[in-house]
Chain A
Amino acid sequence: MKNAVEVCPTTALGMIEKGALLVDVREADEVAEASFDVPEVILIPYSEFEERFVEIPVDREVVVACNVGERSLMATYFLMNHGYEKVANMQYGIVRWAEKGFPMKGELKRKSGGCCCGSPSGSSNSSGSCC
């Protein structure tokens, strides 16, 4: 399996400014709290990604992002497995994006990772806490 392309938020911002599509895979409550303020972003929560990834155009350059870059890396590999060739993961996610002072809406409170099971970090479910 090929290594995923990973870019820092600065490079990601440059790609977005040149026309790349940002795909935010954080869950709805995370997005409601703070989000990327860029002209074009698709919101597909990680927990729905398997069903909804087809909404992402195959022929566009795509940057995938989450809170710290873990869920988005898995989503990036998932897209690669489905034939997407112009996809990159944003390392360190919106947390680093915010630290850099890049355009945002809202205020970021969750500074830790998200959950591989699709839940935001620190949330709990019937099977116990996650990540």
Chain B
Amino acid sequence: MKQVKILGTGCAKCNQLADAVKAVIAREGIEASVEKVEDIQRIMAYNVLATPALVVDEEVRCKGRVPERDELKEMLTR
């Protein structure tokens, strides 16, 4: 099962990414746990300044933007 984390302090874009990730996971039947990380210290453990960021299995796959559905699917299934 993939461990997915959405890093962001709770702005609209962070919520957009979380919703988009959950939608792709549901549509594609990906086995994954999704956690939103809003604590700044925990976010900065990944050394990410530009949020929202997507972390899959502890690897930062995207930061500072909300990718399109197909790109997200690729990031979540890689």
Residues of A within 8 A of B (CB): 1, 3-4, 46-47, 49-50, 70, 73-75, 77-78, 81, 115-118, 127-131
Contact = CB atoms under 8 A, between A and B. Distances in A.
B66 A127 contact: yes
Contacts of A81: 44, 47
5 pairs of A and B residues whose beta carbons are closest in the complex: A77-B44, A131-B11, A116-B51, A116-B9, A130-B11
Nearest to B14: A116
Interface of B: 8-14, 16, 40-41, 43-45, 47, 49-52, 64-66
Contact of B47 (A3, A47, A78): A78
A129 B12 contact: yes
A42 B11 CA distance: 27
State the majority secondary structure of interface residues on B.
loop
A31 B24 CA distance: 40
Nearest to B11: A131
Contacts of A129: 12
A127 B16 contact: yes
B60 to A, nearest CB: 13
Contacts of A1: 41, 44-45
A77 B41 contact: yes
Nearest to A115: B11
A28 to B, nearest CB: 17
B49 A46 contact: yes
A50 B63 CA distance: 12
A3 B14 contact: no
Nearest to A50: B49
B49 A49 contact: yes
Nearest to A4: B41
A112 B64 CA distance: 21
Contacts of B41: 1, 3-4, 77
Contact of A117 (B40, B43, B45, B51): B51
